[in-house]
Amino acid sequence: MSEFVAGLPKAELHVHHVGSASPRMVAELAARHPGVVPADPERLREFFAFRDFAHFIEVYLAVVDLVRTPADVRFLTYEVARELAQGQNVRYAELTCTPYTSVLPHEPDRGMPIEAYTEAIEDARVAAERDLGIVLRWIYDIPGESGIPAADATLGFALDHAPDGLVGFGLGGPEIGVPRGQFVPHFAAARAAGLRSVPHAGETTGPQTIWTSLRDLGAERIGHGTSAVQDPALLAHLVEHRIPLEVCPSSNVATKAVTSLAEHPLPQMVAAGAVVTINSDDPSMFGTSLNAEYEIAADLLGLDAAGLVALSRAAVDASFAPDDVRSRLLAEIDAYAAPSG
């Protein structure tokens, strides 16, 4: 099973730019910018032991603070692409980027201009596709904990400085104490500009957050959505309208959103007929990978090779990839599956 998963061409739809920084990358960045985050791999493992979701956000922001220059952004982006492509055979990925935390418009003496940030991720994207054969696209997300100023800035980055690879507009960070309704104007403007709506919802809060994201933010996919199973009407709505759930099992356990893998609601989602995609979220911080998440899904759902192929195809279908990329990737998946089928 592990060998089959490793070779399976895959799409990753819910993975964070900074959260994908492996210990090797974090150590390199920490060495460049000594401070809170340890550069020693052993101490890094201890640093990434999360007490709860709030502590995870604290640690995440400490790593974000290491990405201070365009060179840091370019290094991180290309190396993340390398590990996705070479380590996991990811052929297409939508990386969730949070430019606000690197550009820092509220702290003009720190951070970098948005033009430099955009140039760095785009240079890495083009090089990764050329060198590694992986297609990258961007989702710009609002860090919810920073409120309306972050939303205003992120919308400006998305509309006035859009990189060529930008396809979506999201909302991350804590859900508790961050009502989704306050961001309605930002999502409306982003959607009017052609960006797809992909907020996180229902990870650490109940089904109402998902309803709000659907009704008020026009969500086309739901990041996590673990609490959807608590509301039969919501689950039926998701099934009827074929709104995908971006499921990240290990992440949900690591942040204590779910108590254990054995209690993860993924089987209930699938049994109800929901569209699910399997993703890694912040893989390096959670000690996982997309390959590992596929194996976990196979175990939770009792999947064979054909079931894993169906999961991979579902991610491509739920993606915002260009039609030619989508067709090519589906053909790659089918060609890979043919010998076993």
Q: What DSSP string runs through 151-219?
A: HHHHHHHHHHS--TTEEEEEEES--TT--GGGGHHHHHHHHHTTPEEEEEESSSS-HHHHHHHHHHH--
Q: Choose, from 203, 293, 295, 332, the residue flagged as catalytic.
A: 203
Phi and psi torsions of 325, nearest 5°: -70, -45
203 tagged catalytic: yes
User: In this structure, what token pair is assigned to residue 251?
Assistant: 């992440």
User: In this structure, what token pair is assigned to residue 254?
Assistant: 């690591």
Partners of 247 in the beta sheet?
Answer: 278
d(CA 255, CA 220): 24
Taking alpha carbons only, the member of 10, 82, 6 closest to residue 319 is 10
d(CA 89, CA 8): 7
User: In this structure, what token pair is assigned to residue 85?
Assistant: 């492509």
Taking alpha carbons only, the member of 218, 221, 302 closest to residue 266 is 302
Four-CA torsion 221, 283, 327, 302, nearest 10 degrees = -80
H-run or E-run covering 317: helix 305-318
Grouping H, G, I as helix, E, B as strand and the rest as coil, residue 309 is helix
CA distances from 255 to 14, 49, 109, 223, 246 (A): 16, 10, 33, 14, 16
Catalytic residue positions, numbered: 203
